Structure 1
Amino acid sequence: MPPRDIALALGVVLIWGLNFVAIKWGVDEISPFLLTALRYLGCALPAVFFVRRPQVGWPILLAYGMTVGVLQFSFLFTAIRLGMPAGLASLVMQMQVFFTMALAILLLGDRPTPLQLGGAAIALLGLGTIGAEHLGGAVLVPLLLTLVAAFSWASSNIVNKRAGKIDMLAFVVWASLVPPLPMIGLTLLFEGPQAFADLLTISPQAVFSVLFIAYGSTLMGYGAWAVLLGRYPASTVAPFSLLVPVVGFAAAFVFLGEAMTALEVVGSLLIFAGLLLNVFGPRLLGRMRVA
């Protein structure tokens, strides 16, 4: 991979890591459901008028929009609104790797390697360590909501795999038409009309949050990621995503002043070790066998 594409991959990592800080700024002033609606309105408009619809049926687009938009981000935004630390959320969301693996076993007949199963076990131990820190505490419910968001992300990965090889940017743009109406309905149901009136008084920081989440994290991030996946094997590109929690923790410390307890550090290191074993373990084992 030439330096230009390495810089592009690191740029995506930077955007996705900073996204968790932007989410925190957004949910401090905007209803999580309404913020989700605004995110996807920004993703869909005006891009949908300039990007050709991908060659997939509406059921796939609806399923992707529901899992990644209505479920994943409404749960994630709500979790952060209720007190889930942004840095920790950036790591816990990576549990989607193992949820995806489990769903692929159940639904697609995939067979994980022993090293991948070992990585999952280490990550679950880390998650249990973090959970033990917050057992009965105020962050336990947000932690569980973040796990539901990670599972929803994994579900969207399975839908994406069913879609086959398609233009990912077009897929994201057109699927973005799905979440706004359900999210607006949920906003009215749980927050009432006042949530919309509050938009008139939000700060420039919250406006930046909406724009960054919609155009930076989603369109630019996914667009650049799709370009990289089009040029290189997924096994070459995917490991860069392991740096997202690193950026997420650093950004949360710098911009939000978030600190971590000793158990959170231990649990996070275990999850990260499990991710490393899951991503690099099979490749290293293959090289050892060849040697």
Structure 2
Amino acid sequence: MKPRDIALAVVVMAIWGFNFVVIETGLDHFPPLLFNALRFTLAAFPALLFAGRPQVPWRWIIAVGLVLGVTKFSLLFAGMAAGMPAGLSSLVLQAQAVFTTVFAVLLLRERPRALQVTGLAVAFAGIIVVATRSGTNLGAFLLIVGAAAAWGLSNIATRKASPPDTLRFMIWVSAVASGPLILLSLTFDGPAADVAALRAIDPEAVLALLYVALISTLAGFAGWGFLLRRYASATVAPFSMLVPFFGMASAAVFLGERIHALDVVGGVLVVGGILLGLKRTAVSPRPDVPRELATASGPT
């Protein structure tokens, strides 16, 4: 990779890692479902006016919108609101790689090689280490794991969609997700809580919304899509392992979160296992799965 593209990859990972700190901040101002609804509404509009027609079948836009936008991010925000630390959330969410492989085997009939199975087993062991350490909120932890599972399933839908323009695809996905999220927020957060949050909005809340919608979602996805168009996924995908590094580091600096020894052990196992599974001897995508999407990750 060219040095400027390496720098771009690192910047995108830093944006997505720091996003967990911003989410934590946003949740101090908004109920989880409302925050998620506002995020995708802001990401979709007015960008949708300039995005042009979607270039993939509607069924895949709707599928990714519901699974990624509604399910994954609602579970993530709910887990963090329930007490899962921002830094630890950025690490546990990487279990999406394990779920992506499992769903690829079940739904796409892919055949994982021994090295990939070994790597995913190591990564899963890291998740167990994090789950069983003292102080882990099990309920919040399971919500983040559920978010990782939804992310893995959405990766399969994205593979099938094969979007030629990832930014345009994400704008339409955001538009699909925004409507159901508004209804869910009114149902579960409640109109009173939503109105109170909107009336109490302040500059910090506005900045949090702008960051998660415009910088993390649109700018981050634009940069990631640019890299995937220029390089093979085997070259680009390992950079996603920097997300928990930036997530845990920024949470420690800006939120004062402590990094426990077992968190480090679990993190090394998760990141090491996933990198092992990304080696070229791992599973090859089916012919109908574009190479650049075979191991692609996505935004937080």
* Structure 1 and Structure 2 fold alike (TM over 0.5): yes
User: Offset of 1:272 from its aligned partner?
Assistant: 1.8
Q: What are the superposed Cα offsets for residues 31-88 of structure 1, whole Å, 9 maximum, x if unpaired?
A: 1100111111111111110011222121111101001110010000010111111111
TM-score by length of 2: 0.90
Question: Would the alpha carbon gap of residues 53 and 82 (structure 1) be closer, same or farther in structure 2, given more than 3 Å must change?
Answer: same
What is the aligned partner in structure 1 of residue 287 from structure 2? Answer: none
How far apart are the structure 2 equivalents of 1:76 and 1:182?
Answer: 16
Answer yes or no: is the 8 Å Cα contact 1:92–1:146 preserved in 2.
yes
Answer yes or no: is the 8 Å Cα contact 2:55–2:163 preserved in 1.
no
1:181 to 168, 179, 182: 179
What is the aligned partner in structure 1 of residue 191 from structure 2? Answer: 193
What is the aligned partner in structure 1 of residue 150 from structure 2? Answer: 152
What is the aligned partner in structure 2 of residue 286 from structure 1? Answer: none
Deviates more, 1:120-129 or 1:36-45: 120-129
The count of residues paired between Structure 1 and Structure 2 equals 281
Answer yes or no: is the 8 Å Cα contact 1:53–1:171 preserved in 2.
no
User: Offset of 1:211 from its aligned partner?
Assistant: 0.5
Opposite residue 243 of structure 2, the aligned amino acid is: V
How far apart are the structure 1 equivalents of 2:123 and 2:236?
Answer: 21
Answer yes or no: is the 8 Å Cα contact 1:127–1:267 preserved in 2.
yes
> What RMSD over aligned residues (CA atoms) do the two structures have, in Å?
1.4
What is the aligned partner in structure 1 of residue 121 from structure 2? Answer: 121
What is the aligned partner in structure 2 of residue 204 from structure 1? Answer: 203
How far apart are the structure 2 equivalents of 1:263 and 1:12?
Answer: 27
Opposite residue 99 of structure 1, the aligned amino acid is: F
Asked if 1:267 corresponds to 2:247, the answer is no
How far apart are the structure 2 equivalents of 1:217 and 1:115?
Answer: 32
How far apart are the structure 2 equivalents of 1:174 and 1:41?
Answer: 11
What is the aligned partner in structure 2 of residue 105 from structure 1? Answer: 105
What is the aligned partner in structure 1 of residue 291 from structure 2? Answer: none
Opposite residue 249 of structure 1, the aligned amino acid is: M
User: Offset of 1:282 from its aligned partner?
Assistant: 2.8
How far apart are the structure 1 equivalents of 2:4 and 2:123?
Answer: 33
Secondary structure at 2:278's aligned position in 1? Answer: helix
Opposite residue 98 of structure 2, the aligned amino acid is: F
Answer yes or no: is the 8 Å Cα contact 2:126–2:268 preserved in 1.
yes
Opposite residue 84 of structure 2, the aligned amino acid is: M
Misfit runs of 4+, over 3 Å: none
Answer yes or no: is the 8 Å Cα contact 1:54–1:166 preserved in 2.
no
Opposite residue 5 of structure 2, the aligned amino acid is: D
How far apart are the structure 2 equivalents of 1:129 and 1:231?
Answer: 37
How far apart are the structure 1 equivalents of 2:79 and 2:112?
Answer: 30
Answer yes or no: is the 8 Å Cα contact 1:130–1:263 preserved in 2.
yes
Deviates more, 1:264-273 or 1:214-223: 264-273
Secondary structure at 1:174's aligned position in 2? Answer: helix
Answer yes or no: is the 8 Å Cα contact 1:187–1:195 preserved in 2.
no
Opposite residue 165 of structure 2, the aligned amino acid is: D
TM-score by length of 1: 0.93
Q: Tell me the percent identity.
A: 47
How far apart are the structure 1 equivalents of 2:235 and 2:208?
Answer: 31
Q: What are the superposed Cα offsets for residues 126-161 of structure 1, whole Å, 9 maximum, x if unpaired?
A: 111111125xx6611111000000111111111101
What is the aligned partner in structure 1 of residue 281 from structure 2? Answer: 282
Answer yes or no: is the 8 Å Cα contact 2:17–2:247 preserved in 1.
yes
Answer yes or no: is the 8 Å Cα contact 1:54–1:167 preserved in 2.
no
Answer yes or no: is the 8 Å Cα contact 1:115–1:281 preserved in 2.
no
What is the aligned partner in structure 1 of residue 5 from structure 2? Answer: 5
How far apart are the structure 1 equivalents of 2:132 and 2:8?
Answer: 38
Secondary structure at 1:177's aligned position in 2? Answer: helix
Q: What are the superposed Cα offsets for residues 172-197 of structure 1, whole Å, 9 maximum, x if unpaired?
A: 00111112221111212122112222
| Structure 2 stretches lacking a partner, 5+ long | 283-300
Answer yes or no: is the 8 Å Cα contact 1:83–1:138 preserved in 2.
no
Question: Would the alpha carbon gap of residues 220 and 259 (structure 1) be closer, same or farther in structure 2, given more than 3 Å must change?
Answer: same
Question: Would the alpha carbon gap of residues 123 and 281 (structure 1) be closer, same or farther in structure 2, given more than 3 Å must change?
Answer: farther
Answer yes or no: is the 8 Å Cα contact 1:79–1:142 preserved in 2.
yes
How far apart are the structure 2 equivalents of 1:239 and 1:123?
Answer: 14
Q: What are the superposed Cα offsets for residues 72-116 of structure 1, whole Å, 9 maximum, x if unpaired?
A: 100000101111111111111111111000100011011111111
What is the aligned partner in structure 2 of residue 16 from structure 1? Answer: 16
What is the aligned partner in structure 1 of residue 296 from structure 2? Answer: none
Secondary structure at 1:30's aligned position in 2? Answer: coil
User: Offset of 1:165 from its aligned partner?
Assistant: 4.4
